[in-house]
Structure formats: C-alpha cells, structure tokens
C-alpha cells in the first residue's frame, strides 16, 4: 500500500541489507507471521565466492528455522577441525566433530559456499512471503514516534513499525547511532580461492577444516559444496601497511609472507584468487544498538575479525533473537511501546554476547599470529588439548536463545 505521502506503509518491519544477517532476520520475522520487506542496495542478492564456517551456535538456529537439512545437503559436515603449525607442518590440536560433538552442542559444524547459504535463505524468504527489493540504497532510517521512517538514495521512502539495519561493515544506519567513523583496519589482508576440487593440486583431507597458524599469517582450508569445491583463505600482516604505504597487501607481499612456510601451505598459494583482496576490519564493541524503533544487526552492530569464524554466526544469533523478542513482547497487541520494549530486550541480550566474541576474535588472532617464545608456548598448550575436549569453546558454540 502507498499512502498519500507516497510512503509505503504496509510493512510491519523493514530490514535494510539482504546479506546473511538481513535475510535470516527477515525469515525469522516472517516465520512468526509478520509482514517484512528487505531493501538491498545491490542489483541482486549475492555473496562473494568463498566458504563460510557455521558453528553449532548458528546451525542450531538454522535448524529452528527449518533450514539445517538444506544447509547440510548443500555444504559439508566435516569430521575434524585441525590446527597445524604453518612453518613446521606439525598438527597441534584436533577437534573431533563427530557424534559426541553433536550431542554436546545439539547441532553439527557445517562448512558451506556463501552463495549456497544465501540462496537457501533467499528461497525460504520468498516462500515465506517476504517482500524483497534490490537496487534500494537506504541513506537514512530514523525512529519517529510510533513509526520508523526509511529514505533511499532514489528518493523512495518507507514507513514501518520497526527498521532493522543489517547493512554491514559500513552501515548507514549505524552512522545514525554512533559517530565512531571508519572501521578499524587490522593491517591484515585476506586472499581467497574457492576452486573446483580437481583444480587443487594437493587438497588436505577432504573431511577436515584445517587452520595453519604462523608468524603474522594463517591459512584456512576446507571443502565446500558437497566436496565438489575446495575453499582456501590466506591471511597475512602487511609490512607495507605498517610502513604507511597506500598500496598494501599486494600479491607480492602474499608470496613473500608465505615463502618460508611448510610445503603444503606454500602449495596452496598459486590457487588463490590474486585479483581481489580483502583487507580485514573490525570495530570496538558498542553497547547501544537500538534507538526507539531502529536497531542494528550483524556486522552493522558488531563487525569482528574473522579469526573465530563467527561474524555470520553472530548475525544469525541476532536475527533469531530479535524475532523472538518481538514475539515475547507481543508487539502486535502491546500498544505503541511493545516494539521499543522488544528492541531494548534484544539489545540487552545480544550486545554483551557479541562484544565478548568481538574481543575474543582479536585475542585469538594475536595467538594465531604470534612468533618466537609465544608461538612455542601456544604450541605446547594446543598439544595438550584432547580431541573430544570442547570445554574451551563451550561459551561460544554452546550459546542458547533465552528460554531454550
Ligand atoms: C575472510 C573472512 C572470512 C570469514 N569467515 C567467516 C566464517 O567462516 N564464519 C562466519 O560466521 N563469519 C565469517 N566471516 C564474517 C562474515 O562474512 C560476516 O560477519 C557476515 O557476512 C556479516 O553478514 P551481514 O549480513 O551482517 O553483513 P553483510 O554480509 O555485509 O551484508 C550487508 C548487506 O547490506 C547491503 N547494504 C549495505 N549498505 C546498504 C544500504 N545503505 N542500503 C541497502 N543495503 C545495503 C549490502 O549490499 C549487503 O548485501 C568472515 C569474514 C571474512 C572477511
């Protein structure tokens, strides 16, 4: 419906951004029978051609949304998670992701092509009746009395009961709440490569997620798409960034950084996609995600370094939580303040949790990338962890929705 002001007013909730976080939120709301519209800036719903690790804190929620079977069919359920020394090649620690793991966390560890996950979410949103618009860049969204108002770069405007800003690292909606400027560059850069399995010279065990850790660098490798593709991500600290150069994290720096590593790690380098690189960013945690009827979600709220493989997992936790709080606070019948109360509850549940993950991701990166005596101590410690001891990760992978 378009009202006399030319605003669309028929949606209860507008979600800004159709990435993994935005589509998960839209689906969670739609599953509860709410009318939802997603506004996506890009011309299509798309993700970069790379893999994604989904830990049980996220797969448990995908199960709740009825998507786990499809996710497991499209992805790979690996048998092991291994940490190895990138210089010596020694395996340092291994987690058995089999039956005991699944019993402990109530869900599996899954690795999947990002595009495949986005397609599963998109199809589910379409089937659930979510209105999906592409080519809509939101420039402003504010809470005004009993409505949220949303303005797009093309002049279109929307009104809704609530607006969820799932617009990623450089969120326009976040800028309405926080004046914390540009994201923080880590000085590290990632090169990715998701290749047909037959093009990979020496894939590691095809049922394993392996993380090679070394001084100022790491390499992650795992199979995706039912084992038909192999995903590799090489990350290193750029000396040119540290020296203040404008062009940093070049392919030449990549080769130099990994040149002294063990053979299996060096072997991966030629199959990385060299024409595109991802400098990595995060932000310090903030405890304010909500202003009245406007709320942040996913990277817009808590951009984090990727070392715990949790950015998308946290976005999925946000998505299911915000819909749960709308249901709890009965926003349909609790009068004007129901939405504000639901969003305030969402913030109080999610902000401390995501802040802990953001901080731990920075610390985990330091541990992975340490050199010298620190690396020796790290390796000693990792060697002592039993492959069925998940106690160190329970706080992360064992998270449950309030009341579950
Ligand atoms: C190298 C690397 C590896 C990673 N590995 C993992 C992993 O294994 N597991 C994991 O859980 N996480 C991982 N992450 C993190 C994960 O990719 C992100 O945290 C996650 O994709 C964030 O999802 P999002 O929906 O919040 O944001 P995004 O994916 O950034 O989506 C935001 C969407 O909003 C749209 N948008 C932006 N601005 C506007 C606007 N103004 N108006 C309308 N639309 C807009 C964008 O086009 C985009 O579609 C990794 C990150 C990196 C860099």
Each residue's pLDDT expressed in tens, for the chain with a length of 404 residues = 444 334 554 569 999 999 999 999 999 999 999 999 999 999 999 988 799 999 999 999 999 999 999 999 999 999 999 999 999 999 999 999 999 999 999 999 999 999 999 999 999 999 999 999 999 999 999 999 889 999 999 999 999 999 999 999 999 999 999 988 899 999 999 999 899 988 877 666 789 999 999 999 999 999 999 999 999 999 999 999 999 999 999 999 999 999 999 999 999 999 899 999 999 999 999 999 999 999 999 999 999 999 999 999 999 999 999 999 999 997 666 566 889 999 999 999 999 999 999 999 999 999 999 999 999 999 999 999 999 999 999 999 999 999 88
169 C-alpha to center of ligand 1: Å?
7
Q: Tell me how crowded residue 29 is: count the other CB atoms within 10 A of its CB.
A: 25
Q: Which atom of ligand 1 is nearest to the CA of 311?
A: 19
Identify the residue whose C-alpha is closest to ligand 1 atom 35: 17
DSSP state of 183: P
With beta carbons less than 8 A apart as the criterion, state whether 398 and 105 touch: yes
For ligand 1, say whether the CB of 325 is within 6 Å of any of its atoms: no
CATH of the domain at 381: 3.50.50.60
For ligand 1, say whether the CB of 343 is within 6 Å of any of its atoms: no
101 C-alpha to center of ligand 1: Å?
27
132 lies in a domain?
yes
196 lies in a domain?
no
Quote the pTM value. 0.96
66 lies in a domain?
yes
88 C-alpha to center of ligand 1: Å?
34
For ligand 1, say whether the CB of 165 is within 6 Å of any of its atoms: no
Buried b (16+ CB within 10 A) or exposed e, 334-351: eeeebbbbbbbbbbebbb
Q: Which atom of ligand 1 is nearest to the CA of 21?
A: 25
For ligand 1, say whether the CB of 303 is within 6 Å of any of its atoms: no
Angle between helix axes 311-328 and 20-31 (nearest 10 degrees) is 20
For ligand 1, say whether the CB of 293 is within 6 Å of any of its atoms: no
With beta carbons less than 8 A apart as the criterion, state whether 74 and 117 touch: yes
For ligand 1, say whether the CB of 17 is within 6 Å of any of its atoms: yes
128 lies in a domain?
yes
For ligand 1, say whether the CB of 18 is within 6 Å of any of its atoms: yes
Q: Which atom of ligand 1 is nearest to the CA of 17?
A: 34
Give dist(CA 404, CA 399) in Å, integer: 10
Q: 314: domain range?
A: 8-182+283-397
Q: Is 241 a catalytic residue?
A: no
How many domains, in total, are found in the chain?
1
Q: Which atom of ligand 1 is nearest to the CA of 22?
A: 25
- Phi then psi for residue 272, to 5 deg, are -80, 150
For residue 111, list its beta bridge partners: 53, 76
129 lies in a domain?
yes
146 lies in a domain?
yes
| Ordered alpha helix ranges (H), 181-331 | 239-242, 251-258, 263-268, 311-328
Q: Which atom of ligand 1 is nearest to the CA of 20?
A: 25
Residue with tokens 């709410």: 34
Q: What contacts 381, CB < 8 A, 6 or more positions away? A: none
242 lies in a domain?
no
204 lies in a domain?
no
Which of these is catalytic: 222, 241, 307, 346?
222
For ligand 1, say whether the CB of 168 is within 6 Å of any of its atoms: yes
Give dist(CA 282, CA 268) in Å, integer: 27
Nearest CA-CA partner of 343 in 294, 285, 400: 294
The first and second tokens of residue 147, run together, are 């409505």
20 C-alpha to center of ligand 1: Å?
7
74 C-alpha to center of ligand 1: Å?
20
């Amino acid at each position: 419906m378009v009202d006399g002001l030319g605003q669309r007013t028929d949606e209860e909730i507008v979600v800004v951004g159709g990435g993994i976080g935005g589509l998960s939120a839209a689906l969670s709301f739609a599953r509860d029978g709410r009318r939802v519209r997603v506004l996506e800036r890009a011309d299509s719903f798309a993700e970069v051609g790379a893999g994604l690790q989904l830990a049980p804190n996220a797969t448990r929620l995908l199960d709740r949304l009825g998507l786990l079977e499809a996710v497991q069919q499209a992805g790979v359920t690996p048998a092991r998670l291994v940490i190895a020394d990138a210089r010596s090649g020694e395996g340092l620690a291994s987690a058995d992701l089999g039956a005991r793991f699944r019993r402990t966390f109530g869900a599996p560890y899954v690795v999947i092509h990002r595009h495949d996950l986005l397609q599963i979410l998109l199809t589910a949103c379409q089937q659930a009746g979510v209105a999906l618009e592409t080519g809509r860049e939101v420039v402003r969204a504010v809470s005004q009395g009993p409505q949220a108002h949303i303005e797009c770069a093309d002049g279109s405007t929307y009104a809704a009961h609530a607006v969820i800003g799932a617009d990623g690292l450089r969120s326009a909606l976040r800028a309405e709440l926080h004046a914390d400027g540009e994201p923080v560059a880590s000085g590290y850069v990632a090169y990715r490569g998701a290749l047909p399995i037959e093009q990979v010279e020496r894939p590691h065990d095809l049922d394993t997620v392996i993380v090679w850790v070394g001084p100022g660098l790491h390499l992650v490798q795992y199979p995706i798409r039912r084992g038909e593709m192999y995903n590799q991500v090489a990350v290193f600290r750029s000396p040119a960034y540290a020296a203040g150069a404008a062009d940093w994290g070049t392919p030449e720096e990549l080769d130099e950084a990994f040149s002294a590593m063990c053979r299996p790690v060096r072997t991966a380098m030629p199959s990385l996609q060299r024409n595109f690189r991802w400098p990595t960013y995060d932000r310090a945690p903030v405890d304010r995600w909500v202003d009245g009827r406007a709320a942040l979600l996913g990277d817009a709220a808590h951009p984090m370094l990727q070392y715990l493989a949790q950015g998308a997992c946290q976005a999925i936790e946000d998505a299911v939580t915000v819909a749960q709080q709308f249901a709890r606070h009965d926003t349909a019948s609790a009068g004007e303040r129901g939405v504000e109360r639901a969003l305030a509850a969402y913030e109080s549940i999610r902000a401390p949790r995501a802040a802990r993950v953001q901080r731990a991701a920075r610390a985990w990166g330091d541990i992975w990338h340490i050199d010298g005596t620190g690396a020796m101590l790290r390796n000693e410690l990792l060697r002592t962890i039993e492959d069925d001891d998940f106690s160190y990760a329970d706080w992360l992978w064992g998270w449950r929705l309030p009341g579950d």
